[in-house]
Structure 1
Amino acid sequence: MQPEVENSTTELYTVKDYTKRRPAFTQGGLRHLFFHQGPELEQSGAIVRFGARILIDDTAFLAWLKAGNARHIGSNRGAA
């Protein structure tokens, strides 16, 4: 069974290219987020793993952020 093909054009960016496109993000900050919330990001379609490389879907990633999913990163979920 083949995966469903998306109708809209999806643009995927490497972490390095994404930080050039969106300078508000740093490579280290993105990698920290991916380490702690990678499975959730993959499930939402915000990131795609291509071997060892992580590719970011700009539209899905920004939607995931706007939904408040990065409010707590890592183990300090109770910290203010």
Structure 2
Amino acid sequence: MQTIKQFFLNIERTDIDENTENLISDDLIDSIDIMALVAEIEKYYGKPLDASFIKPENFENFQTIKNMLEIAMKN
């Protein structure tokens, strides 16, 4: 979860942490934030995130992001 927190810090969203829920449904982050997070994820892992993973439900909270990354980056 610390890595995910660092992604948010890198995009200057210090207001979001592992206890923040409903990031999408409560409009805490928007599509610009998601694309910035995707860029951070791709930079960190050194490979592109498949477009099929870039959907709102995967960015709802730290746990959904973690779950998505475990699947997306295992190959």
Same fold (TM over 0.5): no
Normalized per residue, the structure richer in helix is: 2
Q: Which structure would you say has the larger Rg? A: 1
Normalized per residue, the structure richer in strand is: 1
> Which structure exhibits the higher relative contact order, with contacts defined as CA atoms closer than 8 Å and separated by 6 or more residues?
2
